[in-house]
Amino acid sequence: MNVIVVKNYEEVCQKGVEFFIEQIQKKNNINLGLATGSTPLGLYDKLIEWAQEKNADLSHVTTFNLDEYIGLPKDDPNSYYYYMKEKLFDPLNLSPEQTFLPDGRATDIEKECEAYDQIIKDKGGIDLQLLGVGVNGHIAFNEPGTSFSSNTHEVRLAESTREANSRFFSSMDEVPTHAITMGIGSILEAKEIVLIANGTNKSEAIQQLVEGPQSEDWPITALQSHNHVTVIVDEEAASLL
C-alpha cells in the first residue's frame, strides 16, 4: 500500500486527480469507479478543469458508481444520481450510456444488485476505483461487519452514517434508511484503487487501514489485501499514524 501524506485538502485532490488523468490519457478504454460524499468534490472539479482546458476526448471513458440510496427518485437533489450528474457527468459531457449507478428505485432490488455486478463484469471490470471513507471506516456503504467477499447488495445504513449524511438533508427523517452498495468483494476486484481522505474525523479509519489488524469491524482494512492501493491523505487524516 502506497501512503501519500500531503498538506491539505487541495493537495489531496491535486495528487488524486493526477492518477485519473494519467489513466484516462494512457488507455484506449477505461472504466472508472466513482464515489460520492464531499471528499471527491475537489478532485472532480480539477478533473473538469483539466478536461475543459485540454478539450479532452472522453468517449473512451465509462464510469460506475459505488452506491445509491434506496427510494430517492433520480431528480431528488440528494440522490447520488443527481449528485453525479450535476457535479461531474454534465460538466464532462458524459452520456447516460457511459455512466452507471445502481438504481435505487428498482422494483426488485436483489435483481438490480446482480445486474449491476454483471454489467461491470461485461464491460471488463473497473480499472481505477476512487474511494472515500466514512468516519466509522465504511467504504461505499459497506458498514462495519460486512463480509469482505460481499457483492453488490442492499444495506441498512448505520445510524452514525445517516447522521453524518444528514447534513445534506433538511431533517434526519428524510435520510434514507437503506441503500444499494457495491460489496467489498466487488470493490477489491478493481485493478487499482485510490482512496482519498482529509480531516481529523477520518484519522482513526486511516490509522486502522495503515496500522490496524484486518477486521470486519473496520471495512476499510479490507484494502490491505489489495496489491495496488494508493492512499492520499492530508496531515489531519494522517495525524494518528
Binding site for ligand GLP (CB under 6 A): 35-39, 66-67, 132-134, 140-141, 161, 165
From the candidates 67, 68, 76, 112, give the one annotated as an active-site residue.
Answer: 67
Query: Does 143 participate in catalysis according to the annotation?
Result: yes
Smallest distance from ligand GLP to CB 76, Å: 16
Buried b (16+ CB within 10 A) or exposed e, 15-29: bbbebbbebbeeeee
Residue 16, all three cell numbers: 488524486
Residue facing ligand GLP at closest CB distance: 37
Query: Does 136 participate in catalysis according to the annotation?
Result: yes
Choice between 112 and 219, CB closer to ligand GLP = 219
From the candidates 112, 143, 234, 236, give the one annotated as an active-site residue.
Answer: 143
Choice between 39 and 150, CB closer to ligand GLP = 39
Dihedral sign computed on CA atoms, order 208, 214, 216, 220: positive
Cβ pair 69, 79 in contact under 8 A: yes
Choice between 92 and 130, CB closer to ligand GLP = 130
User: Can you tell me the distance from the alpha carbon of 176 to that of 168, in angstroms, rounded to the nearest whole number?
Assistant: 12
Smallest distance from ligand GLP to CB 167, Å: 9
Cβ pair 231, 4 in contact under 8 A: yes
Q: Which 8-state DSSP code applies to residue 213?
A: P
The catalytic residue positions are 67, 136, 138, 143
